[in-house]
């Protein structure tokens, strides 16, 4: 009984924090599906990653806030203030998630598990031989609370994003991936540094203080790590 009461109090506290969260209110105002849009927005505004005319791949896209943000940035004439940007899209956006995602205009969505070869092959097919300018990954596992198991799950998903980028990202491109401080963090930072000339670690203001999440950004692949461009 005490456990149930404690859980109820925690849920009420979380709901109260969520409803009163500045970024939740901003997302509602701007038409974004989630506050996560502002995490990518801050990263992009710092590093100027996303531009019209690009091919952007969004891994772990559901519910779609990151794709919405990219859609707006790649529509120069889009109306300001709307998360689901209006106007013609200049570029391509391909999104993938294991969960369903409501349609976003001009965003090609694939529902599937990136850990499956058939899903990766489908994603590669939609690239039509083109290399991505930017790969963004907000993928995260369901955390169990068991540090060693969670670290392994986190590391595996980030490794998949790195492997995808190594095969399908332009040499001068950028990879943005969500990671968590913990047992796998130093290993993942090293992997980024092995692959990219420049590595940035960014904790956006929209990322809650109590969250251990942060974002690694890799810029320009080191010679010998990127795919051959025919």
Q: Which residues are catalytic?
A: 178
Structure tokens at 58: 């969004």
CA 22 from centre of chain: 21
Residues 168, 131: contact at Cβ < 8 Å?
yes
DSSP assignment, residue 98?
S
* Helix pair angle (147-168, 117-127), 10° resolution: 30
Backbone CA torsion sign across 116, 168, 188, 211: negative
**Residue matched to tokens 């590391």:** 155
* DSSP H or E run through 229: none
- Which of 183, 132, 137 lies closest to 162 in space, CA to CA? 137
């Amino acid at each position: 009984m005490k456990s149930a009461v404690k859980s109820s109090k925690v849920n009420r506290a979380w709901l109260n924090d969520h409803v009163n969260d500045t970024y939740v209110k901003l997302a509602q105002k701007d038409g974004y599906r989630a506050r996560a849009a502002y995490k990518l927005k801050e990263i992009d505004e710092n590093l100027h990653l996303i531009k019209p005319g690009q091919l952007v791949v969004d891994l772990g896209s559901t519910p779609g806030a990151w794709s919405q943000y990219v859609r707006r940035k790649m529509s120069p004439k889009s109306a300001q203030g709307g998360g689901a940007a209006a106007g013609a899209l200049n570029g391509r956006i391909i999104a993938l998630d294991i969960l369903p995602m409501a349609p976003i205009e001009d965003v090609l969505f694939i529902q599937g598990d990136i850990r499956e070869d058939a899903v990766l092959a489908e994603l590669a097919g939609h690239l039509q031989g083109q290399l991505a300018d930017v790969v963004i990954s907000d993928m995260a596992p369901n955390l169990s609370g068991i540090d060693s198991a969670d670290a392994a799950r986190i590391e595996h998903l980030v490794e998949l994003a790195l492997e995808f980028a190594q095969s399908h990202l332009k040499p001068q491109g950028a990879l943005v991936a969500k990671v968590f401080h913990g047992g796998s963090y130093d290993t993942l930072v090293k992997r980024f540094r092995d692959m990219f000339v420049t590595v940035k670690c960014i904790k956006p203001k929209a990322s809650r203080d109590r969250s251990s999440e942060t974002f690694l950004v890799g810029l320009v692949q080191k010679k010998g790590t990127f795919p051959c461009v025919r």
